[in-house]
Amino acid sequence: MESVYLLIPVSVILVFGIALAFWWSVRSGQFDDLEGPGFRILMDDNPPPTPVEQPESDKAEKV
């Protein structure tokens, strides 16, 4: 029975600690975007370069 007197306050303190950590994480934006980082891994950062078209006058000079 004496252990109950110790376990109840310890569990109440633990619950308040977990609630405080959860409140802090929600306020700091930890749960704002859950899917974005996973999709960002799959995306390319830079698109491949597109070839530049040469004007007609430059094409005629090379021939």
- In the chain, what are the domain boundaries? 1-29
Please say if the pLDDT value at position 46 is more than 80: no
Q: Which pLDDT does position 51 carry in this prediction?
A: 77
- Mean per-residue pLDDT, 29-47: 80
- The amino acid sitting at 49 is P
**Cβ-proximal residues to 31 (8 Å cutoff; 6+ apart), any chain:** 25
pLDDT confidence of 61, banded at 50, 70, 90?
A: low
Q: pTM for the full model?
A: 0.51
**Spatial separation of the C-alpha atoms in residues 57 and 63, rounded to whole Å:** 11
- For 1, which DSSP code? -
Q: Which pLDDT does position 37 carry in this prediction?
A: 78
Q: Which pLDDT does position 16 carry in this prediction?
A: 98
Please say if the pLDDT value at position 11 is more than 90: yes
